[in-house]
Amino acid sequence: MVEAVQVHKSFGRVEVLRGIDLTVMPGEVACVIGPSGSGKSTFLRCINHLERIDAGAMRVDGELIGYREAGGRLHELRESEVARQRRDIGMVFQRFNLFPHKTAAENVMEAPRTVRREPRRAARERAMALLDRVGLSDKYDSYPAQLSGGQQQRVAIARALAMQPRLMLFDEPTSALDPELVGEVLDVMRGLAGEGMTMVVVTHEMGFAREVGDTLVFMDEGRIVEAGQPRDVLGNPQHERTQAFLSKVL
């Protein structure tokens, strides 16, 4: 579902991704950990077209991200084609980024209404079903300010699911939450994984990574230092830098 081959990305003279190779099969959950500044968010943003890669290749569901192959040459996609690719990828950020002046249901309906021109009634019904799925059946008409951080993040997940993505990206979805609210968001993510959603999750929730992750990737300074089954990486890290990082966060 995701195939990154020697992905490089620089900002000015700073090389932030220095050759990332990662394969995520359909239905798999890949968790990404690593120190601040190691390039985790940039990598997710490259998968989702929020950044353009400088070198290497990125495929999502077999399709080159941002490019089309024709006669052995690469052609950059048109804006409309990029938009189409992006519709298949849902993303959830550390900050929930909900529209503050829209209710929970309206936030979830927004993309289906504007991008797909879904009729209001059908969009609202689907929004309610999605809010039910994330445990918010009593909050359809609440505004973000009336919701806890955990509830807002669950609305953000429902909103990302509204476009029926094939891939979900999570960038530290629980890092901004009070500790007692982390569990409810992880439960929703665990449920999604159980239903077979392909997910790439940047998180420092090691319990989640161990239990739900098929792969755990440790990034440092723009490289994947170590990757493997979470149990192995956490229990028996091979690289000194992984050991040092884990000794700080575990």
Contact set with ligand ADP (CB under 6 A): 11, 16, 34, 36-42
Measured CA distances, 75 to 43, 58, 72 (Å)? 22, 14, 10
Q: Looking up tokens 């490259």, which residue turns up?
A: 46
Residue 169 binds which of Mg ion, ligand ADP, none (CB < 5-8 A, kind-dependent) = none
Q: Looking up tokens 């007692």, which residue turns up?
A: 180
Residue 153 binds which of Mg ion, ligand ADP, none (CB < 5-8 A, kind-dependent) = none
Q: Which amino acid is at 23?
A: T
Among 1, 29, 38, 41, binds Mg ion (CB under 5 A): 41
Instruction: For ligand ADP, give the closer residue by CB, 11 or 99.
Output: 11
Instruction: For ligand ADP, give the closer residue by CB, 158 or 216.
Output: 216
Q: Looking up tokens 């209001």, which residue turns up?
A: 120
Task: State the residue number with the nearest CB to Mg ion.
Answer: 41
DSSP 152-181: HHHHHHHHHHTT--SEEEEESTTTTS-HHH
Tell me the closest approach of the beta carbon of residue 40 to Mg ion, in angstroms: 5
Tell me the closest approach of the beta carbon of residue 200 to ligand ADP, in angstroms: 13
d(CA 181, CA 177): 6
Residues contributing to the site for Mg ion (CB under 5 A) = 40-41
